[in-house]
Amino acid sequence: MGTRLSSVARLTAVATAAGVVAAAIALPAVGGSGAMFVSASEELGIKPEELVEPPLAERTTVLDAKGNEIAWFYEEYRENVKLDQVAEVMKTAIISIEDYRFYEHGAIDIEGTIRALAKNVSSGGISQGGSSITQQYVKQVLLNSATTEKEKNAALEASYARKLKELRYAMAVEDKYTKDEILEKYLNIAYFGAGAYGVEAAAKRFFGVSASDLTLAQSATLAGAVQDPNATDPNLGKDQQKKLLSRRNVVLNRMAELKKITPEQATEAKAEKLGYKGTPIPGGCGTSEVPYFCMYVRNEVLSNKVFGKTAKARSQFLNRGGLTIQTTLDPKMQKAADNAIKKHVYASDNPVASEALVEPGTGAIKAMAASRKYGNNKRKKEMSYNVVADAVHGGGVGFQAGSTFKTFTLLTALKEGMKINDGFSVGSGYRAPYYSTFKNCKGENIGDPTHTVTNDEGGGGFKTLATGTWGSVNTFFMVLEQKVGLCDTVKTAKSLGIERSDGLPLTEFETFTLGTNEMDPVTVANAYATIGARGKYCEPMAITKITDRDGKVKNYAPECKQALDPGVADAAANILSGVFTKGTMTSVGGIGRPAAGKTGTTDAQATAWFAGFTPDLAGAVSIGDPRGAQDYKLNNITIGGRYYGSVFGASIPGPIWKDTMIAALKGTPPSDFTPVDNSRFGGCGSSCQPVRVQPDSGGDDDSDGRLEDADIADFG
């Protein structure tokens, strides 16, 4: 036998199904005179069952420090609204086409259900729906609550078992809420197509208006879309738009049939074009004016256990929570960074410039900018990762930081008692005397007597902590690192938050002081901000406050510690201030207020940096080629429309930093650095006269690798 039922069987099935439904349904009487129950409902066990209603996924809004919206995150693009914020004609349209007796029946529309059952049985399957708006709401709640494919399939299963289960839930919903409350919930949960969930998002997406301003034709369009939102998704093309237009006219005809509108109104509305605008869905970092900062915030929430114990919990918190996230981003400072980079580096250039600004004493990230636009279009040289930050916050491998790392060796020397004018004579080249001359923090010998470090500009002579820093003399810093110890230098860097951009452990080679580790601007800027804050290190922070969907507020305070002796930080700031007047930034000049910093250029100009600070703001700028800095060096190259034989820290990063700081701090009263404690750091100690390192005698030794005063011979 075939699967189709005989006419007798069909009639029997319809009668039976109708009887089951009738027997199962609580029928509230019209006019408020009470409820009539069919006695068989108890026998069948059809009773209300409480529906668990998790909060709807709502968009999370991200604000800058001034309260301006800068980004949105969501799993479903939805903006919940109250029923009185929905146009009356929209309510009428959705009720007319979906459940015209909505305000008259209980949990189920008996007439509609029997009609649908008869149609479905005669066709041998589920071909017509008879669900009330309440039942449709229940179905959407179950679908939205589903966390597995099995649960989703169960919510969509075409069976009477599911219908009866929905009915139990619908009966409870009808007992719990008023009709207006149910309609409001339905309008907020329904999917309309084109990625729009809920009537407010749909009104904006389809027509660029709020739900309160929908016209008759627009309301009929949205009301028609809910039946099969994928088939009538106007964003998919002309065929779907034609189907949606046809569906709209069906709704208008139905409204006229029910005398909700006049035939003339229906005719006039049907004459209108579809009017789909396809307003871009807001949100995501791709549409943000500050995409790199946006990526930082997003990845901070997704990676930090403060916002949820598991990755899934953090994702739901961000994308479904309906949060308002207040951030540290300063729009004035962001504009300053954007403009400065655009002035010196074009988006079409192969090298990429990036910059981060951080507030000393709080770790607040005030700006994140890059020369490339964010996106996936390689032809337009867009970037899809966060070149300003580390891998945890959406970044990549970073760029070698170059001579900006010399500052950590300088700090270590000051920590260990050296004075500003202490120094020694060095040559134009440096080679470690022994393998044991440098030891990593595991105590392993990592000196390389086979490798010679040279100066970018040649020459040597007697250099002090001050003059060696101002001139960024490689050989001087190799000897200085030898004297204070590689491991202590590494520990100093780590205490200021220095970690590799790619998340791997810092490499501890003898050239650590020359910046061979790949870094990102946020990390470097924050390390220099620590010096500006007199040694107070604060974790980089982008989020200051989160308000949840219920209005509950959680504030986030800076996480800080004293990483450096304030006197050491003051002495370092004093020395680094001279970089602008007596060192590598002399040709660029200062910013008209107390400032300190350090240029950075890696071997053969693979990358270039500048990191600097005032007591009020710190910043770091890097430039390098993301195709591979070692393969595409910054030599004989045109950047920003200007030709460079070789790019150094003062060539492009320094000017970007200068222009940024002048604009970012405009209107901010200048702050002075704390004067250096001359009784502690002034003058010189035991190394006041020109001295030189003993020549290499070959072999190896059992020393700790440090250069002691006894190892230095008088040169004068």
Q: What is the DSSP code string of 653-664?
A: HHHHHHHHHHHH
Phi-psi group of 641: left, alpha or beta (phi > 0 → left; psi -120 to 50 → alpha; rest → beta) = left
CA–CA separation, 154 and 146 (whole Å): 9
How many CA atoms lie within 13 Å of 462's alpha carbon, on the beta-carbon side?
13
Structure tokens at 106: 């209980």
State residue 543 phi and psi, 5-degree precision. Answer: -115, 130
- DSSP for 6-21, written as a single string: PHHHHHHHHHHHHHHH
Inter-axis angle of helices 474-484 and 406-415, nearest 10: 40
Query: Average pLDDT, stretch 463-479?
Result: 96
How would you classify residue 283: left for phi > 0, otherwise alpha for psi between -120 and 50, otherwise beta? left
* Measured distance CA(694)–CA(282) in Å, rounded: 66
pLDDT digits (tens, 9 = 90+) for 67-111: 999 999 988 888 899 999 999 999 999 999 999 999 988 766 666
User: Is residue 328 assigned to a domain?
Assistant: no
The predicted pLDDT at position 130 comes to 54
For residue 367, the cross-strand partners are: 357
Given a cut of 80, is residue 19 above it in pLDDT? no
Domain that holds residue 197: 7-52+80-270
Q: What is the pLDDT of residue 321?
A: 85
Can you list the alpha helix ranges (DSSP code H) found in 583-695? 653-664, 678-681
pLDDT in tens, 510-550: 999 999 999 999 999 999 999 999 999 999 999 999 999 98
Q: How many residues does the chain have?
A: 716
Q: Give the pLDDT mean for 481-496.
A: 98
Under the banding of pLDDT at 50, 70 and 90, the label for residue 325 is very high
Residue 150 lies in a domain: yes
Res 713: pLDDT: 30
How many separate domains does the chain show?
Answer: 1
Is residue 554 situated within a structural domain?
Answer: no
Backbone angles phi, psi at 602, to 5 degrees: -90, 175
Of the chain, the end-to-end C-alpha distance in Å amounts to 114
Distance (Å, whole) CA 688 – CA 78: 70
451 part of a folded domain: no
Q: Above 50 in pLDDT, residue 705?
A: no
The stretch 466-474 carries a mean pLDDT of 95
Residue 420 within a domain: no
For the residues 568-589, what does the mean pLDDT come to?
A: 97
3-state SS, residue 597? strand
Tell me what the mean pLDDT of segment 247-262 comes to. 97
Report the chain's C-alpha Rg in angstroms. Answer: 35
Give 679's contacts (C-beta < 8 A, 6+ positions apart).
none
Whole-number pLDDT of residue 108: 67
C-alpha 283, offset from chain centre: 11
pLDDT, mean of residues 653-665: 98
Average pLDDT over residues 318-329: 93
**pLDDT value at position 15?**
41
Token pair of 707 as six digits = 């250069």
CATH of the domain at 144: 1.10.3810.10
Structure tokens at 349: 């250039």
Residue 105 domain-assigned (yes or no): yes
Two tokens, residue 152? 């989703």
Of 128, 123, 150, 154, the residue nearest 139 (C-alpha) = 154
Least confident of 46-60, 98-112, 270-284: 98-112
Instruction: Give the per-residue pLDDT at 426.
Output: 94
Q: What is the pLDDT of residues 121-169, one digit of tens each?
A: 554 443 334 579 998 999 889 888 877 777 777 767 767 777 788 888 9
| Residue 180 domain flag | yes
Q: What is residue 190's predicted lDDT score, i.e. its pLDDT?
A: 95
Cα-Cα-Cα-Cα dihedral sign, residues 128, 132, 137, 142? negative
Q: Is the pLDDT of residue 477 over 90?
A: yes
**What does the pLDDT read at residue 669?**
96
pLDDT of residue 345 exceeding 70 = yes
Can you tell me the distance from the alpha carbon of 571 to that of 566, in angstroms, rounded to the nearest whole number?
9
Angle value at C-alpha 34, between 29 and 40, nearest 5 degrees: 75
- 108 in any annotated domain: yes
Q: With CA atoms as reference, report the closest residue to 13 among 119, 99, 143.
A: 119
Residue with tokens 């500050």: 290
* Coil, strand or helix at 530: helix
CA dihedral 391, 395, 401, 407 (to 10 degrees): -70
Residue 218 has pLDDT above 50, yes or no: yes
Q: Give the angle subtended at the CA of 434 by the CAs of 430 and 440, to the nearest 5°.
A: 95
Beta strand ranges found along 183-293 (DSSP E): 191-193, 196-197
pTM value surpassing 0.85 = no
> What integer pLDDT is reported at residue 113 of this predicted model?
59
Average pLDDT of the residues of the chain: 87
pLDDT score recorded for residue 251: 97
Q: Please determine, for residue 5, whether its predicted confidence score (pLDDT) is greater than 60.
A: no
How much of the chain exceeds pLDDT 90, in percent?
71
Please state, in angstroms and rounded to a whole number, the distance separating the CA atoms of residues 49 and 662.
Answer: 66
Per-residue b or e along 238-252, where b marks 16 or more CB atoms closer than 10 Å to that residue's CB? eebbebbbebbbebb
Q: How far is CA 142 from CA 105, 317, 477, in A?
A: 22, 20, 66
